[in-house]
Structure 1
Amino acid sequence: MKATLKGLVFALLLGLAPLTLAQEMAPINVNQADAEMLAELPGIGPSKAQAIIEDRESNGPFSDPDDLTRVSGIGPATVEAMRDQLEF
């Protein structure tokens, strides 16, 4: 019984490991990342990733997370969700 319980706990922890790894990913530099990398950010898919690239090419680099709100479709809540995963 104890061995079975230990096995179940171990399996559960292994199942949660990818979630832990995802939270520990290196910050993404929004001024250098390509669309594929930007799309990994929470709330950013392929179209918003492309919009970020187009904005930085047209208006210059982003200096802080709040600058991302100048991109259509990215608001304060989206910025807050990814703030810890950004670098400039």
Structure 2
Amino acid sequence: MKTLLKTLALSLLLGTASMAVAQDVAPININTANAELLAELPGIGSTKAQAIVEDRDNNGPFADADDLTRVNGIGEGTVANLSDQVEF
């Protein structure tokens, strides 16, 4: 039982530490980042990241987060989750 409690406490501490690190990361610029960097954003992945780059190349830069909805597969929910992690 003690081992289980220690493991749970350690997991909680590590989870909290990783959240603090994630909050300190600078926002990713959607208009300059490559697909590899964009894929690190939550809810994006490699396929959507490549679609963002292709859309940007074909249609010009994104003015704000709402513009990301012009990319197939990116909806308002994804945009809401990204709002504090991206810049333009």
Question: What is the CA–CA distance in structure 1 between the aligned matches of 2:14 and 2:34, rounded to whole Å?
Answer: 31
Question: What is the CA–CA distance in structure 2 between the aligned matches of 1:61 and 1:84, rounded to whole Å?
Answer: 18
Q: TM-score, normalization: structure 2? A: 0.82
Percent identity over paired residues: 64
Question: What is the CA–CA distance in structure 1 between the aligned matches of 2:15 and 2:42, rounded to whole Å?
Answer: 21
Question: What is the CA–CA distance in structure 1 between the aligned matches of 2:38 and 2:29, rounded to whole Å?
Answer: 9
Question: What is the CA–CA distance in structure 2 between the aligned matches of 1:51 and 1:83, rounded to whole Å?
Answer: 18
Structure 1 residue aligned with 2:78: 78
Which structure's CA Rg is the greater one?
1
Structure 1 residue aligned with 2:69: 69
Q: Which sections of structure 1, spanning at least 5 residues, go unmatched?
A: 1-7
Secondary structure in 2 aligned to 1:62?
Answer: coil
Q: How does 1:1-88 map to 2 (within 5 A)?
A: 11=10, 12-88=12-88
Q: TM-score, normalization: structure 1? A: 0.82
Per-residue deviation, 1:28:
0.4
Secondary structure in 2 aligned to 1:33?
Answer: coil
Q: Which amino acid aligns with 2:20?
A: T
Per-residue deviation, 1:18:
1.5
1:60-86 alpha-carbon deviations (Å, 9 max, x no partner): 000100000000000000000001111
**Number of residue pairs matched?**
82
| Aligned residues: CA RMSD | 1.9
